[in-house]
């Protein structure tokens, strides 16, 4: 009962195969009748091939062909011949297959949506019928890209002496790990495992264990409220290296990215990637994940405020704030409504308002706050490199708010004005992050990243004196405005670790409870080490030119953590709880 | 504060580097003083290098060296010079490093056990201090082997057009899935995800989705009682292919194994692997995972029973049983105690006893059941190919019990007699498994493998008539007596699927509840497909010559599912349960 097995794929045949008898297997993509001749476009992952059932074909073949509907899975035996009307748009466009036998391998019910290059079905329907969605060339390209990227990662890191090592995914749950998924143990009632938010502790343990250069394409889990483009489970390219400084981590990461882009897209990434100190990125682009595919940088406007008589700006400067300006080229024509929209964007990031003035054709400042600054128009235009027809936008606030809100306006304008080129990839490193950040609610210092990030050497003596000034040996990799990776050199010196715990008000007991086994390990000759963890989903998303990581995951959950296909999560059976010595507690309407 | 970073590894330097100034980073493996000269063996993952602090070294260097203890992590700057007494046993044995600077990177407390080639520490201590255990060359070799094996798998499958696709690990829990780990959802109180026992349903969905050739090195989970060498999480090389018969799956699997062994151990595996029908394996080796590295096959003894007067054997034959015999070469000297031990082994597998007789030096049958068979001694010896000094062992029982119990005796004898060569790898396929097996408790047919295994074509007409006779399109890959993989051609025809569900007494509702989304998918033109899933842990274990998969997993749980290092699972905090709307139920002392 073996079916006619393919001897070629649907993307393979060309004029060179003319006259050959081949068997194809695939799906009925389209079919049409034309003057008694039946045409079938047969599709598989590799391409499309036109099947023709001639008028003089055997009755059986014609009957079977007439029975075919969309997405029937079939086998066709036939002879390759050249096409009267070649289709130059597809690789097999020169030929067609004259069908001699057709076997229906399976039938297909009425489709919920067409298998098309780009489905316009709403996402939950695509996810429910993911097996149909995946058949499109568009999804197949992304699946293939993801495969190629991971293969390139492994090829490169293997060549660099990294070992891929699997770390456990049933690990210790830490009470403070608010975002841990927990997994009750059947064997040990009352006890639970947690799913890891990342292999962080284990990769550091591997360094203590002498593994020297580790990587893993690792599944990570976060039980957090669905927001934006997060998934409950996601994948990262997790690396850690012993005896390194950040330059070594940068070199490996850049080499890896270059290899990935070369092998999968034949793109040569310029190296080394530029490095931007955190505060410079904030000042110039209003973001710690700057979109560098266009300029239009934020500028400092403070020097024009003194004597302008504009009290708002003067007041902000007096209270230690900053005035940031942005020149929107050719936007002097913007309506009040358009400017209001930009202001809304700024306000989302905490700005109290968005000041503006226009540069008239004759080079005068006009409208908005122009009256305060018109006297120094020449000087301002020259300093900001603005000219006739431009719009000047300003935010006055404390530094972080002024920068990030105007940064958001910059990004919005960049998109509106189509300043961002498609298909280009601009990487940079963000460095010199603060080690601590002030928690004004609790009036204490928090770690800006995590507890194991090394302070830069020059701050070691003054750690306690000026925690806010301390810069960390920490770095982010940014591409096209997305944070792609975060990493650091780790603390391996128990004394420095203790000082950091003290600064953030972390008791020894707390430390032991959360990171006990890592701190224990550090008593046995830990090597200096550091690492990084690029997000795989996001990397492939950026490469594929998509806006959601769900587009590059075979079976994602939707935005509220549900899989419409298998309908998980599903109600627990009382038996399941009972076996785990658990009971459901009714959900209270507001406690 | 950057430390002296290595310019070479501890496994790299040779006579060719003489005179070079290099920096090494690593651990103090051994140290000794010899007439005022201090010797340090410095170790990293790559090897050992001898460091020498000469008598005339700077005071600071000598003092630091004197301070060193086992497993201090250090940096050494020095000059490579040839050794007076080369050590031919290690690659760096020709040279030593004359230390000019020594920097202590971190200190080490008193070790719980020595970092040795093969630790004799008990396993739980090794697991608790896994970071120390991992530093041994023995563990590093296994970690490296596992990396090399997975890399070779990917290299091969990538070359064969397979795409590695990640399937979800938070999936639908099925009430009957007794061995599912469940993961309560915080976002959806009362609902749970399950961790997958394998990607089975998803890989079949991928075939329906047109992915054609899929693989994944996939983490799988089973919440079952600890027994033998199981782990709660384990890894399999999961494959699935569209439009194939079992020969295609065999060819890919054999190619993959050959590539793995060639690339990692430079061993040429003979191909194709032999194929043994299930019942033949049972009859000849007493096992469906036969150890083929030695012969000593089971033989049929039935033909000598008639007329022997041995009632026990006669009775068994009359009631439809079999008599199996095994010739243990040179074991005629075995004591009663030794034979009793073999009998115990047979009884473990259900045999009621182990009959025996010896072949004397003069070729006579002697002892045990010899008196019944002495008259036909010549004929028996010739048929069994037994000779003077041999021991003949027999089990009479129904076929399965007789075969498996004598098979266990065969294996035990093979080990005792050291008939099993080390470092060789004998693969075979077991084919023609029964599709159904009789459940005598419930008096019904159960699927022998899983619901989606295809019956062989020749049984399709008589499926319902003789379920016990139906052979499946199912196969196991066996190596050195271990089941390494299991796979099958899947049912993709809804009609055949329905008939199978009916035979095993599976209602449509049950089917829908457990496999609903796969059955739904099969309504939309599923391609014929099949696959296999070799266990990675076991494969690497066999290759490494180990007896436990814990030896080839970086951070395994112990035999009762506990990780002594991170102390997981750990008691759940009431808060954790509360957030999930769960409550602990006290464990009753026997319900």
Query: Over the stretch A137-183, which tens digit does the pLDDT of each residue have?
Result: 999 999 999 999 999 999 999 999 999 999 999 999 876 656 889 99
Here the CATH number for the domain that contains residue B369 is: 3.30.1360.30
Whether A262 and A298 map to the same domain: the answer is: no
Here the CATH number for the domain that contains residue B72 is: 2.40.50.140
A492 neighbourhood in chain B, CB within 8 Å: 105-106
Whether A450 and A509 map to the same domain: the answer is: yes
Residue B570 belongs to domain spanning: 137-269+532-577
A108 neighbourhood in chain B, CB within 8 Å: 523-525
Distance in angstroms (rounded) separating the CA atoms of residues B87 and B15: 12
Residue B52 lies in a domain: yes
Best A566, A578, A580 residue to mutate vs chain B (most B CBs within 10 Å): A566
Considering only CB atoms, B132 lies closest to which of A191, A211, A524, namely: A524
A351 phi, psi to nearest 5 deg: -70, 145
Whether A521 and A539 map to the same domain: the answer is: no
By C-alpha distance, the chain A residue nearest B159 is: A151
Distance in angstroms (rounded) separating the CA atoms of residues B369 and B361: 18
Verify whether the Cβ–Cβ distance B585 to A578 is below 8 Å: yes
Best A151, A170, A562, A587 residue to mutate vs chain B (most B CBs within 10 Å): A170
Whether A512 and A434 map to the same domain: the answer is: yes
Whether B265 and B142 map to the same domain: the answer is: yes
Last residue of a domain, one of B416, B441, B468: B416
**How much is the average pLDDT of A210-217?**
98
Residues 206-265 of B with CB under 8 A from A: 206, 208-212, 219, 221, 223, 225-226, 232-233, 235, 242-245, 248
What is the domain count for chain A? 4
Interface A:B, Cβ pairs < 8 A: 364
Whether residue A578 lies within 8 A of chain B, CB to CB, comes out as yes
Residue A72 lies in a domain: yes
* A538-577 residue pLDDT tens: 999 999 999 999 999 999 999 999 999 999 999 988 888 8
A191 neighbourhood in chain B, CB within 8 Å: 569-572
Verify whether the Cβ–Cβ distance B577 to A580 is below 8 Å: no
Verify whether the Cβ–Cβ distance B193 to A569 is below 8 Å: yes
Whether residue B169 lies within 8 A of chain A, CB to CB, comes out as yes
Distance in angstroms (rounded) separating the CA atoms of residues B60 and A73: 78
Listed as ranges, residues in chain B with pLDDT below 70 are 1, 117-119, 175-178, 226-227, 588-591
Last residue of a domain, one of A51, A85, A106: A106
Helical (H) or strand (E) element with B146: helix B137-159
A584 neighbourhood in chain B, CB within 8 Å: 190, 581-583
Whether A60 and A158 map to the same domain: the answer is: no
Residue B448 lies in a domain: yes
* B157-183 residue pLDDT tens: 999 999 999 999 999 987 665 688 999
For residue A99, is pLDDT > 50? yes
Residue B282 lies in a domain: no
Whether B348 and B249 map to the same domain: the answer is: no
Last residue of a domain, one of B416, B435, B462: B416
Residue A591 lies in a domain: no
**How much is the average pLDDT of A519-532?**
96
Whether residue B546 lies within 8 A of chain A, CB to CB, comes out as no
Q: What is the pLDDT of residue B373?
A: 95
Q: What is the pLDDT of residue B175?
A: 63
In this prediction, residue A118 has a pLDDT band, given cuts at 50, 70 and 90, of low
Helical (H) or strand (E) element with B323: strand B322-328
Helical (H) or strand (E) element with A356: strand A355-359
Q: What is the pLDDT of residue A175?
A: 63
By C-alpha distance, the chain B residue nearest A206 is: B131
**How much is the average pLDDT of A267-287?**
97
Residue A281 lies in a domain: no
Whether B447 and B536 map to the same domain: the answer is: no
B209 neighbourhood in chain A, CB within 8 Å: 130-135, 554
Whether A153 and A261 map to the same domain: the answer is: yes
Verify whether the Cβ–Cβ distance B566 to A517 is below 8 Å: yes
Whether residue A574 lies within 8 A of chain B, CB to CB, comes out as no
Average per-residue pLDDT for chain A: 94
CB B130 within 8 A of CB B121: no
Verify whether the Cβ–Cβ distance A585 to B567 is below 8 Å: no
A203 phi, psi to nearest 5 deg: -70, -30
Q: What is the pLDDT of residue B226?
A: 64
Here the CATH number for the domain that contains residue A235 is: 3.30.930.10
Whether residue A522 lies within 8 A of chain B, CB to CB, comes out as yes
Lowest mean per-residue pLDDT among A93-107, A144-158, A223-237, B62-76 = A223-237
Assigned token pair, B320: 């439809």
Q: What is the pLDDT of residue B382?
A: 96
Q: Is B3 annotated as a binding residue?
A: no
Residue B114 lies in a domain: no
What DSSP assignment string belongs to B57-90?
S-HHHHHHHHH--TT-EEEEEEEEEE-SS--TTS
- Angle (nearest 5°) at CA A184 between A183 and A189: 160
Best A168, A497, A557 residue to mutate vs chain B (most B CBs within 10 Å): A168
Whether A537 and A509 map to the same domain: the answer is: no
Helical (H) or strand (E) element with B313: helix B311-318
Verify whether the Cβ–Cβ distance B525 to A169 is below 8 Å: no
A319 phi, psi to nearest 5 deg: -90, 15
Assigned token pair, B591: 């319900």
Q: What's the ipTM?
A: 0.95
Whether A47 and A19 map to the same domain: the answer is: yes
Residues 420-439 of B with CB under 8 A from A: none
State the helix-helix crossing angle for B536-544 and B137-159, rounded to 10 degrees. Answer: 130
Neighbours of B46 (CB within 10 A): 19
Lowest mean per-residue pLDDT among A223-237, A523-537, B314-328 = A223-237
Between these two residues, A121 and B57, which has the higher pLDDT value?
Answer: B57
Q: What is the pLDDT of residue A32?
A: 94
Verify whether the Cβ–Cβ distance B571 to A226 is below 8 Å: no
Whether B353 and B439 map to the same domain: the answer is: no
Assigned token pair, B311: 């009632």
Considering only CB atoms, A173 lies closest to which of B235, B248, B576, namely: B576
In this prediction, residue A451 has a pLDDT band, given cuts at 50, 70 and 90, of confident
CB B410 within 8 A of CB B331: no
Verify whether the Cβ–Cβ distance A243 to B5 is below 8 Å: yes
In this prediction, residue A216 has a pLDDT band, given cuts at 50, 70 and 90, of very high
Residue B123 lies in a domain: no
Whether residue A189 lies within 8 A of chain B, CB to CB, comes out as yes
Q: What is the pLDDT of residue B591?
A: 43
Q: What is the pLDDT of residue A591?
A: 43
Q: Is A483 annotated as a binding residue?
A: yes
CB B31 within 8 A of CB B40: yes
Distance in angstroms (rounded) separating the CA atoms of residues B491 and B459: 14
To the nearest whole angstrom, how far is the Cα of B387 from the nearest Cα of chain A?
49
């Amino acid at each position: 009962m073996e079916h006619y097995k393919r001897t070629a794929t649907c993307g393979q045949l060309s004029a060179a195969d003319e006259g050959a008898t081949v068997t194809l297997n695939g799906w009925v993509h389209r079919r049409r009748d034309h003057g008694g001749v039946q045409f079938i476009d047969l599709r598989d992952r590799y391409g499309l091939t036109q099947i023709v059932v001639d008028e003089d074909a055997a009755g059986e073949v014609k009957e079977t062909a007439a029975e075919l509907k969309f997405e029937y899975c079939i086998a066709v035996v036939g002879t390759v011949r050249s096409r009267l009307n070649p289709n130059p748009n597809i690789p097999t466009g020169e030929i067609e297959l004259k069908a001699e036998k057709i076997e229906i391998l399976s039938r297909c019910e009425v489709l919920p949506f067409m298998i098309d290059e780009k489905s316009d079905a709403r996402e939950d329907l695509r996810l429910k019928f993911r097996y149909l969605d995946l058949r499109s060339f568009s999804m197949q390209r992304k699946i293939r890209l993801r495969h190629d990227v991971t293969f390139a990662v492994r090829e490169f890191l293997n060549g660099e002496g990294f070992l891929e090592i699997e770390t456990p995914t049933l690990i210790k749950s830490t009470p403070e790990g608010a975002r841990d998924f927990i997994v009750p143990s059947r064997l040990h009632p009352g006890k639970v495992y947690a799913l890891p938010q990342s292999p962080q502790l284990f990769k550091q343990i591997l360094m203590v264990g002498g593994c020297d250069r580790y990587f893993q394409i690792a599944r990570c889990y976060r039980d957090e409220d669905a927001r934006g483009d997060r998934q409950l489970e996601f994948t990262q390219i997790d690396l850690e290296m012993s005896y390194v400084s950040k330059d070594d981590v940068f070199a490996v990461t850049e080499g890896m990215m270059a290899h990935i882009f070369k092998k999968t897209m034949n793109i040569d990434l310029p190296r080394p990637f530029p490095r931007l100190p955190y505060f410079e990125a904030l000042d110039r682009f209003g973001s710690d994940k700057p979109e560098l595919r266009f300029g239009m940088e934020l500028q400092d406007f403070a020097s024009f405020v003194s004597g302008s008589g504009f009290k708002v700006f003067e007041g902000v400067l007096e209270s230690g704030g900053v005035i940031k300006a942005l020149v929107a080229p050719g936007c002097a024509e913007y309506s009040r409504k358009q400017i209001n929209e930009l202001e809304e964007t700024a306000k989302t990031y905490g700005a109290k308002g968005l000041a503006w003035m226009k540069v008239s054709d004759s080079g005068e400042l006009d409208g908005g706050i122009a009256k305060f600054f018109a006297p120094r128009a020449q000087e301002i235009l020259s300093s900001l490199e603005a000219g006739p027809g431009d719009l000047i936008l300003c935010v006055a606030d404390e530094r972080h708010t002024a920068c990030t809100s105007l940064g958001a306006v910059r990004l919005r304008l960049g998109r509106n004005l189509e300043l961002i080129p498609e298909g280009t990839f601009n990487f940079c490193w963000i460095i010199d992050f603060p080690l601590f950040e002030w928690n004004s609610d609790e009036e204490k210092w928090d770690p800006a990243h995590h507890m194991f990030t090394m302070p830069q050497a020059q701050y070691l003596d003054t750690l306690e004196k000026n925690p806010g000034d301390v810069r960390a040996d920490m770095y982010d990799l940014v591409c096209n405005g997305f944070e792609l990776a975060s990493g650091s050199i780790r603390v391996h010196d128990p004394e420095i670790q203790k000082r950091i715990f003290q600064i953030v008000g972390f008791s020894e007991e707390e430390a032991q409870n959360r990171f006990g086994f890592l701190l224990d390990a550090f008593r046995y000759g830990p090597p200096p080490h550091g690492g990084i963890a690029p997000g795989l989903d996001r990397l492939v998303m950026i490469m594929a030119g998509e806006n959601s990581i769900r587009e590059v995951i075979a079976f994602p959950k939707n935005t509220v953590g549900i899989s419409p296909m298998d309908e998980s999560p599903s109600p627990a059976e009382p038996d399941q709880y009972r076996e785990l010595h658990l009971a459901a507690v009714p959900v209270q309407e507001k406690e």
